[in-house]
Amino acid sequence: MRIAMIGTGYVGLVSGACFSEFGVDTVCVDKDQSKIERLKRGEIPIYEPGLDDLVAKNAKAGRLSFTTDLAEGVRGADAVFIAVGTPSRRGDGHADLSYVYAAAEEIARALDPDSYTVIVTKSTVPVGTGREVARIVRRTRPEADFDVCSNPEFLREGSAIGDFLRPDRVVIGTDSDRARAVMRGLYRPLYLIETPIVMTSLETAELIKYAANTFLATKITFINEIADLCERVGADVHDVAKGIGLDGRIGKKFLHPGPGYGGSCFPKDTLALVRTAADAGSPLRIVETVVDVNDRRKKAMADRVVAACGGSVEGRRIGVLGVTFKPNTDDMRDAPSLDIIPALQAAGAAVHAFDPAGMHEAARMLPDVTWCPDAYAALDGADCAVIITEWNEFRALDLRRVREVMKAPVMVDLRNVYTAEDMEMAGFDYHSIGRPSLL
Ligand code: NAD
């Protein structure tokens, strides 16, 4: 089988490489010429563990190629996937579908007149988008033989390849038996390992993706508020999370407190679902509250640092460890650091920071930060250390060395990677989330 992947970003590149690993002949298309040139040279434009080997292997086998020419990619494809961005529209929080619709029109123009094609939205798109894609294609090419399908993607950055190759489920939404058969063919290796496949309607598949992301965002926000309550009443949020998570109805995952969710999906998808629901006359008041609580939380994190510094950071140096929205990615979209660092700077602090993969991207978004070559350099001379992202290398810092290089042994650990006991023994004034302080 042969597919085209339109949009070669975090989702398109990983999905394209994984389909080629399944044995599907895959062409990844992107408008960004420099991205495609780098991929053709064998360079990977994003940080994603294992992706370099997977791309190299399948490109060498001749199953995976890259082009900026959409028509070349679409020619002869059994399925064309749309994996372009759907960011928040400025001003109203609706998903910006302009990239999706532009891609649909371009695909329509490139469709082979003599063969059947399934047009699949892999991008996260609001209910109704698939039908609109079908309308655009029909309007542009009334004679085209095609069907539309929704196949939302659930991979997580940082573990994207494993998530794609061994997913919890695959969701396929379409009205067409013919399209279903093509999609079954593409996902055949997953059928063989008995991955649950949810076959449903277009609208339902589109909504499943938003319902999944908003549920997870709600779970995170819930435990974050419980963490705040723990601090007030002297309870330990990790024990609470364990105590509730062992109940199979609740589940253990996504009960880790932190500075608020960020990233390329949860913030925009929660907001978009709130807008969809309001427009449909069926408001989602829980999700509205989640969005509000999370926004406030990200902003409030800087106050914790200020409090740990005795009420002011004016003229102080803050050493920040981790700026990406989570570990094992270079993605900075809606990262909590984008709220925390400017707030500290506005309060008069000088911020020195280190991140293992995100500094290149972060430097464009966070001006006036001194970027350092490693964690110890970021903490050198600091009045306070702040862990924003839980990269593994921050879990095993040489605490004696950290104390030696810092001006004052104050640490604000927004990911709870250390324990209060260990930090007290190491001589730190330690502040974490939702756990009783030893003081
Ligand atoms: P991204 O910004 O990394 O990639 C999108 C790519 O599409 C860009 O390289 C852009 O140049 C390209 N593009 C835009 N219009 C194009 C066109 N007409 N022709 C060719 N290329 C075009 O975005 P992403 O993170 O991969 O997200 C893509 C979609 O997948 C979004 O809807 C997102 O919500 C969804 N999603 C993302 C993740 C994630 O973890 N990043 C997970 C699941 C779903």
Ligand 1 atom closest to the CA of 13, numbered from 1? 26
Alpha carbon of 283 to ligand 1 centroid (Å): 28
Same domain, 251 and 107: no
Q: Rounded to the nearest 5 degrees, what angle is found at the Cα of 345, between the Cα atoms of 344 and 349?
A: 80
**Is the pLDDT confidence value at 133 over 70?**
yes
Report whether pLDDT(186) > 60: yes
Q: What span, in angstroms and rounded, lies between the C-alpha atoms of 314 and 309?
A: 10
Domain membership flag for residue 437: no
For residue 438, is it within any domain?
no
**For the CA of 86, the nearest atom of ligand 1:** 32
Residue that terminates a domain, selected from 200, 223, 246: 200
Q: For residue 127, is it within any domain?
A: yes
Residue 267: which CATH number?
1.10.1040.10
One-character DSSP codes across 27-87: EEE-S-HHHHHHHHTT--SS--TTHHHHHHHHHHTTSEEEES-HHHHHTT-SEEEE----P
Which residues are part of a known binding site? Answer: 30, 35, 86, 124, 154-157, 209, 254-258, 262, 268, 326, 333
Domain span at residue 247 reads: 210-291
CA of 46 to the centre of ligand 1 (A): 12
Q: How many domains does the chain have?
A: 3
Same domain, 218 and 266: yes
Q: Are residues 64 and 151 in the same domain?
A: yes
Q: What is the pLDDT of residue 438?
A: 60
From the alpha carbon of 152, which atom of ligand 1 is closest?
Answer: 44
**185 and 219 within one domain:** no
Binding residues for NAD(+): 30, 35, 86, 124, 157, 268, 333
Query: Is residue 142 very low, low, confident or very high in pLDDT (cuts 50, 70, 90)?
Result: very high
* Position 182 in a domain: yes
Classify residue 257: in a domain, yes or no. yes
Ligand 1 centre to CA of 82 (Å) is 8
Average pLDDT value for residue range 168-195: 97
Enter the tokens of residue 403.
Answer: 């104390």
Strands (E), 59-161: 64-67, 79-82, 117-121, 146-150
Residue 1 has pLDDT above 90, yes or no: yes
Residues labelled as active-site residues: 265
Phi, psi of 321 (to 5 degrees): -110, 115
Q: Is the confidence at residue 34, as pLDDT, over 90?
A: yes
- CA-nearest residue, atom 14 of ligand 1: 84
pLDDT digits (tens, 9 = 90+) for 61-72: 999 999 999 999
Of all protein residues, whose CA lies closest to atom 28 belonging to ligand 1? 85
Q: Which amino acid is at 175?
A: D
Task: Please tell me whether residues 269 and 305 are part of one structural domain.
Answer: no
One-letter identity of residue 119: I
- Residue 439, pLDDT above cutoff 60: no
Task: Clarify whether residues 262 and 157 are in a common domain.
Answer: no
Q: Give the model's confidence band at 91: pLDDT under 50 very low, under 70 low, under 90 confident, else very high.
A: confident
pLDDT digit string, tens, across residues 198-214: 999 999 999 999 999 99
**Percent of the chain whose pLDDT exceeds 90:** 98
188 pLDDT tier (thresholds 50, 70, 90): very high
Q: Which of 14, 18, 30, 86 has the most ligand 1 atoms within 8 A of CB, as the residue to mutate?
A: 30
Beta carbons within 10 angstroms of residue 373's beta carbon:
9
193 falls within a domain: yes
Domain boundary among 242, 273, 291: 291
Alpha carbons 165 and 21: distance in angstroms, whole number:
9
Atom 3, ligand 1: residue with shortest CA distance: 9
Domain with 67 in it: what CATH number?
3.40.50.720
- For a ligand 1 pocket test, name from 6, 11, 47 the mutation site with the most ligand atoms within 8 angstroms of its C-beta: 11
**Closest residue by CA, ligand 1 atom 20:** 30
Whether residue 184 sits in one domain with residue 230: no
Q: What is the pTM of this model?
A: 0.96
In this structure, is residue 373 part of a structural domain?
Answer: yes
In tens, the pLDDT along 231-258 reads 999 999 999 999 999 999 999 999 999 9
**Does the pLDDT of residue 437 top 80, yes or no?**
no
Gap between the Cα atoms of 360 and 64, Å rounded: 28
If you average pLDDT over every residue of the chain, what do you get? 97
Residue 276 sits in the same domain as residue 325: no
Q: Ligand 1 — pocket residues by CB below 6 A?
A: 6-12, 29-32, 35, 70, 83-86, 99, 102-103, 106, 123-124, 153, 155, 157, 264-265
The two structure tokens encoding residue 200: 């449903």
CA 190 to ligand 1 center in whole angstroms: 23
pLDDT band at residue 105, thresholds of 50, 70 and 90?
very high
Cα–Cα distance for residue pair 226/434, rounded to 1 Å: 8
Do both 233 and 196 map to the same domain? no
- Say yes or no: 112 and 214 in one domain: no
DSSP track, 236-252: -HHHHHHHHHTSTTT-S
The ipTM of this complex is: 0.99
Residue 126 sits in the same domain as residue 245: no
Choosing from 200, 227, 260, the residue where a domain stops is 200
Does one domain contain both 311 and 192? no
Q: How far is the CA of 197 from the centre of ligand 1 (A)?
A: 23
Instruction: Tell me what pLDDT residue 436 has.
Output: 81
Nearest CA to ligand 1 atom 29: 123
CA of 124 to the centre of ligand 1 (A): 9
- Please check whether residue 439 lies inside any domain of the structure: no
Q: Assess whether pLDDT exceeds 70 at residue 81.
A: yes
Tens-place pLDDT, residues 45-57 = 999 999 999 999 9
